[in-house]
């Protein structure tokens, strides 16, 4: 099998956090191209419309990564089909701890079973271990300060929610 040049960083990104951005940036040190794939997770009720999620990731990406990272949304599709569509041989995911691993492992094994696509797990930055989109939204909703955990455009979008 030819080694892959391109990976997919999949997720709901509802909204993107500094935890996601750390994993995307580190994926560019391993792969020539990174496709950030914004997918619907049937287990989660969405907060932001998908085009807004795409825009927030694009705005938050550092300029130096812009030509090697593209952000796209996909609907009603398996992640393995997204990988085929964009010709990516690997999926990159961040792990904050054992709970993430327990959630991610069956998906990684299923994706491998379906098409042979590999999943690469990166150890999340320990300083961001507590950061998830859902916790950020909840804390912000009740007036907590999440400004160090999300990019400025996400903070503004959270403020708009009220």
Nearer to ligand PNS, 17 or 28 (CB): 17
76 known ligand binder = no
Annotated catalytic residue 44: yes
Selected from 16, 69, 88, 111, the binder of ligand PNS by CB under 6 A is 111
Which residue's beta carbon is nearest to the bound ligand PNS? 11
Is 110 a binding residue for ligand PNS by CB under 6 A? The answer is: yes
- Cβ atoms 146, 161 nearer than 8 A: no
- Three-state SS annotation for the chain: CCCCCEEEEEECCCCCCHHHHHHHHHHCCCCCEEEEEEECCCCCCCCCCHHHHHHHHHHHCCHHHCCCEEEEEECCCCHHHHHHHCCCCEEEEEECCHHHHHHHHHHHHHHHHHHCCEEEEEECCHHHCCCCHHHHHHHHHCCCCCCCCCCHHHHHHHHHHC
Annotated catalytic residue 45: no
Give the active site residue among 20, 53, 137, 140: 20
Is 39 a binding residue for ligand PNS by CB under 6 A? The answer is: yes
Nearer to ligand PNS, 46 or 62 (CB): 46
Is 113 a binding residue for ligand PNS by CB under 6 A? The answer is: no
- Cβ atoms 42, 19 nearer than 8 A: no
Nearer to ligand PNS, 64 or 115 (CB): 115
Nearer to ligand PNS, 5 or 44 (CB): 44
> Residue 53 CB, nearest distance to ligand PNS (Å)?
11
Question: Which active-site residues does the annotation give?
Answer: 20, 44, 96, 133
Binding residues for substrate: 12, 44, 79, 93
């Amino acid at each position: 099998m030819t080694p892959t040049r391109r990976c997919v960083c999949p997720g709901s990104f509802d909204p993107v956090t500094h935890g996601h951005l750390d994993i995307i940036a580190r994926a560019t040190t391993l792969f020539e191209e990174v496709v950030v794939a914004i997918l619907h997770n049937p287990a989660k009720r969405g907060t932001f419309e998908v085009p807004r999620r795409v825009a927030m990731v694009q705005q938050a990406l550092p300029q130096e990564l812009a030509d090697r990272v593209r952000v796209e949304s996909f609907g009603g599709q398996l992640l393995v089909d997204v990988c085929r569509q964009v010709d990516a041989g690997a999926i990159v995911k961040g792990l904050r701890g054992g709970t993430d691993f327990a959630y991610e492992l069956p998906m990684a094994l299923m994706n491998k079973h379906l098409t042979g696509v590999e999943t690469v797990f990166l150890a999340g930055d320990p300083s961001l271990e507590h950061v998830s989109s859902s916790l950020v939204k909840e804390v912000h909703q009740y007036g907590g300060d999440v400004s160090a955990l999300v990019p400025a455009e996400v903070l503004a979008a959270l403020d708009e929610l009220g």
